[in-house]
Amino acid sequence: MKCEDHPNEFYELPEETQKYVLAIISDYLSPIKSLNRSITSYGLKHLIQKEKFDNLYLTNGQFKGAMLLAGFTAADTSKQNWHFNVSKKSISELKEYVGRL
């Protein structure tokens, strides 16, 4: 796994950014029992970045670490892009929100 794809990279973010990213995840993404294979960690991180306009950049690893800390379960963790147990409805609502920015 590339360094920038490791979830521990989340801890390299400033504390304020860590709190902000976790708050966005908590506010917008809802866990479900099963895995959602329609979007990967890479796609989700781009939605989160759009929520903050262009002032926030996250690596895939930083985002994966945030999702794990937020209590989501990951699959395919040996691969670069992971799938999480996140609801399609919450993803759709986040897409709609960032589309209005």
Domain boundary assignment for the chain: 3-95
Q: So what's the pLDDT on residue 50? A: 78
Rounded to 5 degrees, what are φ and ψ at 45?
Answer: -65, -35
Q: So what's the pLDDT on residue 94? A: 87
Q: So what's the pLDDT on residue 1? A: 57
The rounded average pLDDT for each run of 10 residues, N- to C-terminus, in the chain (101 residues) is: 82 93 93 96 89 75 97 94 97 84 58
pTM over 0.95, yes/no? no
Rounded to 5 degrees, what are φ and ψ at 33?
Answer: -75, -35
